[in-house]
Structure 1
Amino acid sequence: MPTEIAHPRQRQTATALYNASWCLGAISSAAVTYATIGIENSWSWRVPCLLQISYPLFQMLGLLVFVPESPRWLVSKGRKDEALAILGKYHANGDTDDELVQYEYRLICSTITAEITNATNWATFFSSKGNMHRLAICVLVGLMQEWAGNGLLSYYLAPILSSVGITKAADQAAVNVSLNIWNFLLSVGGALASERYGRRVLWLISTEAMIVFLSVSTLAAGLFAERHLPAAGVAVVPLLFLFLGAYDIAYAPLFLSYPAEILPFQLRAKGIAVTLSVDAVACFFNQYVNPVAFTAIAWRYYCVFVGCLVVFLGLIYFLFPETKGRSLEEVAVIFDENDVNEKKTRGR
């Protein structure tokens, strides 16, 4: 939704901040867990679980009161006057005659009309090279979100800290709170930087930095486990912060905003569903495979994710185009231009 209604100059930042806001829930959850860790009965874990009910309630209230319909959806349903009114309200302080609003409205109408003429279904993803390219990115982003090493560190922070000598529950909870605050600050920084420096640049820098920090973390964890060097165990904690900070500047804010940008309206919901479904499957792997593997080979398991990151870096370099400074309709040209040129060549 932020992608659909945000002002063009704020679209990427607003959409990226949406996913970065996940950290706010993580911070509050970690803080409550830290506060209740001293309770000497089952309420030490019941309270954090029960308080999580409040977030869906706030979300439902916000959807009913604050969130408007997508202007692109309204145009697709023939409710063009409502679409124009929403564009005017959010992009020109209610002035529907504003030059930008009129340009956006005409562009949306022409694009939606063209897309509706060509009916879409799941098979549409395989109808052109451009759409297959989009589908590949949607799948990759879902995989990258969970298999960059962050899944191991996020879900199994406690055993990782125990493996390097930080065994007290209070100390582990304090690290968890601090880590989530760090994640929030870096995710917001990444969301703001994505519009200034570009999405592709952030993807590449983030992945390269993660390779470096996870490799050094693997070395430090190995030195602590094999040679029992206390300094190596202590070094793992700041290295984890640096690794997740590198993750935060691109993977956290761009997880949903980048697929939303590259997908045309008629495929946007389906493409994001693909990304979220792949992410869910990858989460299943994290939940049931990571603990078994980490228990079996400990710090050596980090090497698997270093290898994944190297593969991701190559795929990002060759498959992820820059979308900075373009409207949603203009981004479509990046993917479909080759198909158009190919048709022209055949026509000759």
Structure 2
Amino acid sequence: MGGFMGGRVLLGFGNSFSQMASPMLLTEICHPQHRARLTTALPSVVQIVGIYWVPESPRYLIANDRLDEALGILAKYHANGDADHPTVKFEYREIRDTIRLERVANEHSSYLDFFRSPGNRYRLMILISLGIFSQWSGNAIISNYTNILYDNAGITNSTAKLGLSAGSSMVSLVVSISFALMVDKFGRRPIFLTSTGGMFGTFIFWTLTCALYEEYGSPGANHAMIFFIWVFNVAYAIAWSGLLIGYAVEILPYQLRAKGLMILNIAIQSALTLNNYANPVALKFFEGETWKLYLIYTCWIFLELCFVFFKYVETKGPTLEELVKVIDGPNANVAQLDIQQIEKEDQMDASRHSENAEGVNAVNHSIDNKGAQRT
């Protein structure tokens, strides 16, 4: 028992490091068009196999004054190695100048920074909501008490239970991966709304069919309950399985990114802990009338849907630095750059170099002519 408990402690301790570092690194490396798919769809086993080939975050390199390395990584992954590409120059200067501004504003960054500005208080609210909603949407009942749910629906055969659970898990996996790959097409906000709205609608019908079966023994209502369990898993997998970490990382500025992920993990683990103690008590209290418990969850998910609709912003498209402006507004600590202006500056630099080269060639040609005349 001691070895088992020690192993659990070590696994949990090590898992916290990977959960925090991996999504930050992927989000900061990825091109804005590919960011969501890569941070939500790739399985962790790929990271394990390729850990030694993972490049460093350009934002980390710039923050530690390793500027040439950062420029090289941006050029390699965003412009096929072309360090003079306007997009690379724009991103490099935007990251560099933004980090400098953040350093001036937050020389000693701390968790208290989440309370010091309206934008950061908004971020804190979103992080806590992500942690709570991902665990308090009824998914804990399905994942932890599937056996009891099937018993309540009249399914008592263990083989049938295993088949139903396996089938539901496979469908959820396919849905989660599919929507993670299409997140840049549909956007984050529509997917969150679709997922949460689907969970709300599913719980309405699940509660009704459960009440019909438990109160009146209506034939077929138990099979409808099983169907809505599957539908709920699909609805949950649309957003809350794949977008949870990726969305959290996108709304956070560089200086608060690691701290924000820690807050998210604390919110998730706190919600899980409460679930582990509250759900068994609730199931026992509502024994024979579990539809009343589902009714409570239905009302709660409706509140989640309203919160997502009014508070969750769209993060599709902009760079991580530009996303700070979406939340903090025009006064955000972000470099104010214009890619068209950068392109004009590049053209002016190129013309200057061309003029200088022509001047040098003319001087050399004149010297050669004078030398020829003397001879």
TM-score range, shorter chain: 0.7 to 0.9
- 1:321 equivalent in alignment to 2:345: no
The superposition leaves residues 37-63 of structure 1 with CA deviations (integer Å, 9 ceiling, x where unpaired) of: xxxxxxxxxxxxxxxxxx7xx865543
The superposition leaves residues 208-266 of structure 1 with CA deviations (integer Å, 9 ceiling, x where unpaired) of: 22111111011112222222234111111221111121111122221111111111011
C-alpha RMSD over aligned residues: 1.8
For residues 88 and 121 of structure 1, the distance between their equivalents in structure 2, rounded to whole angstroms, comes to 32
The superposition leaves residues 80-109 of structure 1 with CA deviations (integer Å, 9 ceiling, x where unpaired) of: 222222222222333333332222111111
- 1:82 equivalent in alignment to 2:69: yes
Any unmatched runs of 5+ in structure 2? 1-24, 333-375
What's the counterpart of residue 7 of structure 1? 31
1:171 to 156, 160, 165: 160
Residue 241 of structure 2: SS of its match in structure 1?
helix
1:125 to 110, 114, 137: 114
The superposition leaves residues 271-297 of structure 1 with CA deviations (integer Å, 9 ceiling, x where unpaired) of: 111111101111112222112211221
> How many residue pairs are counted as aligned between the two chains?
303
Normalising by structure 2, we get a TM-score of 0.76
Normalising by structure 1, we get a TM-score of 0.82
- Shift of the 131–172 alpha-carbon distance from structure 1 to 2, 3 Å rule, reads same
For residues 237 and 92 of structure 1, the distance between their equivalents in structure 2, rounded to whole angstroms, comes to 50
Letter in 2 for 1:13: R
What's the counterpart of residue 225 of structure 1? 214
Any unmatched runs of 5+ in structure 1? 23-54, 341-348
For residues 74 and 256 of structure 1, the distance between their equivalents in structure 2, rounded to whole angstroms, comes to 23
Letter in 2 for 1:315: F
1:212 to 190, 201, 210: 201
What's the counterpart of residue 88 of structure 2? 101
For residues 283 and 223 of structure 1, the distance between their equivalents in structure 2, rounded to whole angstroms, comes to 30
1:335 to 324, 327, 338: 327
Shift of 1:194: 2.2
Contact 1:76-1:116 at 8 Å conserved across structures:
no
Contact 1:13-1:191 at 8 Å conserved across structures:
yes
Which stretch shifts more, 200-209 or 95-104?
95-104
Structure with higher Rg: it is: 2
Letter in 2 for 1:164: A
- 1:160 equivalent in alignment to 2:149: yes
The superposition leaves residues 92-139 of structure 1 with CA deviations (integer Å, 9 ceiling, x where unpaired) of: 333333332222111111111111222221111111101101110001
Which stretch shifts more, 82-91 or 309-318?
82-91
For residues 314 and 153 of structure 2, the distance between their equivalents in structure 1, rounded to whole angstroms, comes to 40
What's the counterpart of residue 71 of structure 1? 58
- 1:140 equivalent in alignment to 2:132: no
Percent of aligned positions that are identical: 36
